[in-house]
Structure 1
């Protein structure tokens, strides 16, 4: 890993299965993983963590989120949720139900991934103006009622583009990271960095923790 990461969440993997030997060849023996399989060529969530300094116990897994407890040696436990939000509003009700479980825990919690929704017009550049849907209001409600906070961004703020040219080009911020109050108190300084797009029209997002008792990236 070029960014010295401790935990990685991958969404829309389109992977139905992977052999441990293949995974080790890709990331090495110091990494372990959990895979929620894709349905055909759609979806899929994989979480990866450094097994030499941390462990990850999955608490819930479905097509929209993998939730687990990440324990770092001599650095406590925090809840991590990797999200791949369905665009269908009725399916997103199940996602919110899963995430609300995290609101009741006292440990630091981080929720990140592809939410596939826009909170405001500032999350979009180009194309038509956004329509404030019921799903958008529900997510606003979840963030405020469950004491979650967005992490500030370093660099370009948009995470997705439609790869079209001219007036048809659209930028959107579909991927984000939010943390609960316990994590906010534990972290002295944190920021989200949007990395370069490679094989996807989405930017990978990286949570960078600069100086705290919370751990590494």
Structure 2
């Protein structure tokens, strides 16, 4: 099962669709999530139709300047039941024609820390019934200095606390990525340039078990890898107070 998630910044832009068609042809995704589509109800339906008749879908409308989520999937490979949707997330139950059901959360977190905090608290309240769970999309936040370059140092906030509580209570770990670490840029140059890793995919222990990977082994490797990077920052004197707090938590977790 392959999932494509993309902050498209305009769901009907010709250049974006040219690139999207190349991605779909090359990677052959089974599920596609587009966020920040800037599309109202009518244009969201138009966007879904552009995928073709073999791609059913659903959406959350935005407006011409912000918001909007589109989720489509290949017909005949799975059944998808919508469980909940709002401006920040689409939650769905995915039941493959051949395979066991799992949960999908397509994330487009708000720029507002307070609203993001509400999203993390809501997701923490979900009863997954021990099903595999994938959370993928634009999380619009970081939880350590490693995922940011330039600008002010990373600072701990209430919404980050709620995010870490979600990851801890649901035993979520980030899926390994290829390519550059940073997924967002403020398009400035020199000292004003800021890079951040806002787009990612998280999965729970049941997902790793579904993939025949020891969840404990995977979680431990991910924890140690993050701890190693934080320790390097600490040696360089680049750790923020929030990073030091997280480093202590990870040290206890890795033992």
Number of residue pairs the alignment of both structures matches: 189
Q: In 2, are the aligned partners of 1:37 and 1:45 still within 8 Å (CA)?
A: yes
Measured in 1, the distance between the counterparts of 2:93 and 2:128 equals: 14
TM-score normalised per structure 1: 0.80
Deviation sequence 1:49-99 (CA, Å, 0-9, x none): 001212211100001110001111111211100111112232223312331
Q: CA offset at residue 161 of structure 1?
A: 0.6
Gaps of 5+ in 2: 1-23, 219-255
Q: CA offset at residue 135 of structure 1?
A: 1.3
Deviation sequence 1:141-179 (CA, Å, 0-9, x none): 210121111111211111101111222211100111110
Do the aligned partners of residues 19 and 47 (structure 1) sit closer, same or farther apart at CA in structure 2, a change above 3 Å counting?
closer
Q: What SS is found at the alignment partner of 2:137? A: strand
Q: CA offset at residue 21 of structure 1?
A: 6.2
Q: In 1, are the aligned partners of 2:57 and 2:72 still within 8 Å (CA)?
A: yes
Tell me the equivalent position of 1:127: 151
> Rg: which structure is higher?
2
Do the aligned partners of residues 152 and 4 (structure 1) sit closer, same or farther apart at CA in structure 2, a change above 3 Å counting?
same
Tell me the equivalent position of 1:203: none
* 2:196 is equivalent to residue 172 of structure 1: yes
Higher relative contact order (CA 8 A, sep 6+): 1
Do the aligned partners of residues 61 and 78 (structure 1) sit closer, same or farther apart at CA in structure 2, a change above 3 Å counting?
same
Pairwise CA RMSD of aligned residues? Answer: 2.0
Match of residue 13, structure 1, among 7, 27, 37: 37
Match of residue 131, structure 2, among 107, 110, 116: 107
Gaps of 5+ in 1: 191-217
TM-score normalised per structure 2: 0.69
Tell me the equivalent position of 2:95: 71
Tell me the equivalent position of 1:206: none
* 2:187 is equivalent to residue 163 of structure 1: yes
Match of residue 23, structure 1, among 48, 53, 72: 48
Q: What SS is found at the alignment partner of 1:153? A: coil
Q: In 2, are the aligned partners of 1:107 and 1:182 still within 8 Å (CA)?
A: yes
Measured in 2, the distance between the counterparts of 1:96 and 1:170 equals: 25
Q: CA offset at residue 103 of structure 1?
A: 4.7
Measured in 2, the distance between the counterparts of 1:101 and 1:108 equals: 16
